[in-house]
Amino acid sequence: MTSSTTCEISKTQQFKRLLQSRRLEFLMEAHNALSARIVEEAGFRGIWASGLSISAALGVRDNNEASWTQVLEVVEFMSDATRIPILLDGDTGYGNFNNMRRLVKKLEQRGVAAVCIEDKLFPKTNSFIEGERQPLATIDEFTGKIKAVKDAQTDTDFCLVARLEGFIAGWGIDEMLRRAEAYHFAGADALLIHSKKVTPDQVLAFAKAWANKCPLVIAPTTYYSTPVEVFEQAGIRIVIWANQNVRSAIAAMQETTRRIFAERSVQNVEDRIVPVKEVFRLQNAEELLLAEERYLPKGRASMRAIILAASRGNELGDVTAGIPKAMVPIGGTPLLHKLVAQFRAAGVRAITVVRGYAAETVRAADVEFIENEDFESTGELVSLHKALDRIDGDTIISFGDILFRQHILNNLLAEEHDIVIAVDAMWERRRKREGGGYIDYITATRPYSLSYDEEDAFLTEIGPDLSADKIQGEWIGLIKTTARGSAAICDALDVVSRRPDFRRLRFDDLFNYLVRRGQRVQALYITGQWLDVDDLEDLARAQAF
Ligand code: SPV
Ligand code: MG
């Protein structure tokens, strides 16, 4: 999201300033982009990309089991997610001086401000696991690596922290000072003096003897109870809290997971964990919404779809025993999933499904559900009314039992009138139903025409009982509205919902009311290429669609 180049002060300069700071500075451990962002938000001015924590989060040991490029990928995500500098725990540099040079090149490219390498041998083991048995690199080899880093870096502010493992390996202060001098002379920008004692004695003794020849860094994992003022007085420059985030994550996840397992419910943990909204915030979902408005084809990103899928479809008999017709598989895929995919393909993000009959079986990914519990005794408008506050801005309203070619949807979306309905001019070709079937015949200001320079057609009447000489098409069950159209529909719904017979009303009642009120409803003619699934014959045709 931000790179070192877009900040006023580059990340490498920021890190250098921490090393030059007059006060004690702190780095906080992070092991992925999420924890890195949390560290930044808390106010820390730098991040420790811990080898222990990154490997733990990857499910491997802190023994160079994760390859250096895998670590690089993690740290790149961390860098992308934050503006503060990252000091990567580079272990022993993943090889010799040559591997180290390549690492530095890649870290610079990925906006990592600094790297820390320790004077052990590849593959390393975490210092707290039999640290005293781990051999140290020779001074010559390690200083060669330091020089190689300094020669390889292209940004003069990129920093190298040389970490001394001598205390951990059982050496005394003389050897530590001998090595420190050599590393400092070779070009290290700072020294990390590591100790696994529970008191700070070793690092304090070193700091005293070192007398500020270059900045000192410590990681008080074992001597954590020492007040930080002690480090401040000793002239330490940076304290690294090296692994507390991964450990707190482990504690929280263990507690939550065990509880959910034991209680077979999330009820008692819900209030103890962050809401999903917080996850979205940390991912900066807001920025994407704004970008979509700016960059996606107008209207689509914010366009919603409402699919009415509450009815069982009694005419389908046993096929809908237990599932509503919207969930009947067509060629192996539930009708509803086909519809959702078509809306997604047209760029529609927010989709709401009104379900009723066998609601628990009505599922689709990333879709919001609203229930019409009275589905048995109510008509289409009651279902639509349940989704009233979703009829907002650019909206598509669709029956849940129709199949249509994608171009029909695309053409509908391309129209600009406030309310547009798709109307099949080939209505006569469709099989006439005997009893039962309800057909929304329409008449409009003009019939379908092959000519392209005709005026748009507008609905004048809709209903199942239009006389044959008036019928100019059949509404297929698709509506598109603009923000104004949505407001008009909501308003009309509000009025008709107060009628005593509202529970039985259908879309033709709504449209006729709108038309009578002077609202223009465009009838967009199509010629076939769609079907609805009302009975078993329809279903057979749908399978072949
Ligand atoms: C790490 O965080 O990976 C470290 C510091 O190297 S420690 O584990 O404390 O040695
Ligand atoms: Mg480490």
pLDDT of residue 431: 60
Query: Which atom of ligand 1 sits closest to the CA of residue 163?
Result: 6
- What is the chain's length? 545
pLDDT digits (tens, 9 = 90+) for 198-257: 999 999 999 999 999 999 999 999 999 999 999 999 999 999 999 999 999 999 999 999
The fold of 4-242 is: TIM Barrel (3.20.20)
Least confident of 311-320, 391-400, 401-410: 311-320
- Our answer on whether the CB atom of 50 is closer than 6 Å to any ligand 1 atom is yes
**What backbone phi and psi angles, to 5 degrees, belong to 24?**
-70, 130
Q: What is the DSSP string of 491-530?
A: HHHHHHTTSTTGGG--HHHHHHHHHHTT---EEEEE-S-E
Residue bearing the CA closest to ligand 1, atom 8: 52
Alpha-carbon distance 495 to 165, whole Å? 79
- The span from the CA of 379 to the CA of 384, in Å, is 9
Region 266-284: what's the mean pLDDT? 94
Hey, which of 28, 47, 52, 78 would you mutate to test ligand 1's pocket, going by the most ligand atoms within 8 Å of its Cβ?
Answer: 52
| Number of helical H runs and strand E runs in the chain | 18, 21
* Predicted pLDDT of residue 301: 65
Query: Ligand 1 pocket, 221 CB below 6 A?
Result: yes
Q: Which of 68-77, 445-454, 521-530 has the lowest mean pLDDT?
A: 445-454
Q: Please state which of the ranges 77-81, 112-116, 424-428, 477-481 shows the lowest mean pLDDT.
A: 424-428
Please tell me if the CB atom of residue 134 comes closer than 6 angstroms to any atom of ligand 1. Answer: no
Q: Among residues 501, 466, 306, 507, which one has the least CA distance to residue 393? A: 306
Q: Which atom of ligand 1 is nearest to the CA of 240?
A: 5
Distance 88 CA to ligand 2 centre (A): 9
Those residues whose C-beta lies under 8 Å from the C-beta of residue 232, and which sit 6 or more positions away, are 23, 24
**With bands split at pLDDT 50, 70 and 90, how would you rate the model's confidence at 392?**
very high
User: Which residues are CB-contacts of 109 (< 8 A; sequence separation ≥ 6)?
Assistant: none
CB 48 within 8 A of CB 27: yes
Higher pLDDT, 535 or 90: 90
Mean pLDDT of the region 182-211: 98
Per-residue pLDDT band at 45 (split at 50, 70, 90) = very high
Q: Is the C-beta atom of 70 inside 6 A of ligand 1? A: no
Task: State the residue for tokens 């069950």.
Answer: 477
Find all residues with CB under 8 Å of 389, minimum gap 6, and list them: none
**pLDDT higher than threshold 60 for residue 111:** yes
Provide the percentage of residues in the chain whose pLDDT is more than 90. 81
User: What's the CA gap between 402 and 411, in Å, rounded?
Assistant: 17
Q: For position 453, what pLDDT does the model report?
A: 82
Where are the domains positioned within the chain?
Answer: 4-242, 293-543
Which pLDDT belongs to residue 5? 45
Question: So what's the pLDDT on residue 18?
Answer: 98
> Quick check: is 401 catalytic?
no
Q: Residue 434's pLDDT is what?
A: 53
| Mutation test residue for ligand 1: of 243, 245, 247, the one with most atoms within 8 Å of CB | 243
Query: Which residue of 55, 62, 64, 165 sits with most ligand 1 atoms within 8 Å of its CB, as the best mutation to test the pocket?
Result: 62
Q: Name the least confident of 70-84, 262-276, 385-399, 432-446.
A: 432-446
Relative to the CA of 243, which ligand 1 atom is closest?
A: 2
Compute the distance from residue 62 Cα to the ligand 1 centre, in Å: 9
Q: In which band, very low, low, confident or very high, does the pLDDT at 430 lie, cut at 50, 70 and 90?
A: confident
- Which ligand has the shortest distance to the CA of 222? 1
Ligand 1 centroid from CA 193, angstroms: 12
CA 258 to centroid of ligand 2, rounded, Å: 29
Instruction: Say if CB 39 and CB 245 are below 8 A apart.
Output: yes
- Ligand 1 atom having least distance to the Cα of 29: 2
Q: From ligand 1's centre to the CA of 126, what distance in Å? A: 7
Q: Could you identify the atom of ligand 1 that is nearest to the CA of residue 52? A: 3
Lowest-confidence segment of 19-33, 145-159, 308-322, 475-489 by average pLDDT:
308-322
Task: Identify the band that residue 2 occupies on the pLDDT scale cut at 50, 70 and 90.
Answer: very low
Kindly state the tokens that stand for 412. Answer: 């509908």
Q: Which amino acid is at 401?
A: D
CA of 80 to the centre of ligand 1 (A): 23
Query: What local confidence, expressed as pLDDT, does residue 7 receive?
Result: 47
Ligand 1: which of 39, 92, 117, 127 to mutate, judged by most atoms within 8 Å of the beta carbon?
127
pLDDT at position 345: 87
Asked whether 195 lines ligand 1 (CB < 6 A), one says: no
Residue 483 CA to residue 511 CA, distance in Å, equals 17
The stretch 357-384 carries a mean pLDDT of 93
Find the range with the poorest average confidence among 23-27, 87-91, 259-263, 537-541: 537-541
293-543 under CATH 3.40.50.300, yes or no: no
